[in-house]
Amino acid sequence: MAETFEITDAMRSVIDVESDGWPVEFTSTGIRAFARGVGIKDAVYYDVDAARAAGYANLPAPPTYAGVPIYLPGVSDPLYGLPRTSTPRLDHGLANILDGATEYLYEKVPVAGQTLITRSRIVDLAVKESKSLGKMLVVTTEATFSDPDSDEILFRTRSQMIAY
């Protein structure tokens, strides 16, 4: 439990530094597997004809499905799939991590067959205190998912990670 913790200038220096872009695939198999895994029963996520009848060009990505990063051995992080060097590392020195939340903000829903480019950045750092965990660092990040041809952002995520 951290009794004291301060945000350093080095930590502040990574705020708003955007990562390199990385391709994320939306496949029919991935969409169906995700929908099934979270218990979605709506046919639009499984049947192309049902998806087209609902106005989609192909199977739509279910809510909170952010595709699958293209994995390159030796380049991609083995746990998260994105390149290890694509995002500035935040050296906070705290031992534990919690997932705070992720919000999905859609302009357009991706569909099977699309490959989007994702980029992320840290947008905020804040120190909070918990009676049970002590001082915590709350890191807020934003990721965009855009069409590689038009740069149009289809959706974005806003996430919080808590280090303590």
Q: Please give the CATH topology (third level) of the domain spanning 9-27+67-163.
A: Thiol Ester Dehydrase; Chain A (3.10.129)
0.85 exceeded by pTM: yes
* Helix (H/G/I), strand (E/B), else coil: 91: coil
Residue 75's pLDDT is 87
Sequence-distant (≥ 6) Cβ neighbours of residue 50 within 8 angstroms = 43, 44
Strand partners, 110: none
> What are the CA-CA distances from residue 92 to residues 14, 65, 134, 142 (Å)?
12, 29, 15, 19
Q: Which residues contact 69 (CB under 8 A, 6 or more apart)?
A: 22, 23, 24, 25, 76, 80, 81, 82, 118
Q: How far apart are the first and last CA of the chain?
A: 7
Instruction: Kindly give the confidence (pLDDT) of every residue in the chain, 164 residues in length, as a single tens digit, with 9 standing for 90 and above.
Output: 667 889 999 999 999 999 999 999 999 999 999 999 999 999 999 999 999 999 999 999 999 999 999 999 988 888 877 776 667 778 888 889 999 999 999 999 999 999 999 999 999 999 999 888 889 999 999 999 999 999 999 999 999 999 99
Pseudo-torsion of CA 131, 133, 134, 138, nearest 10°? -110
Q: Where are the domains of the chain?
A: 9-27+67-163
pLDDT for the residue numbered 144: 98
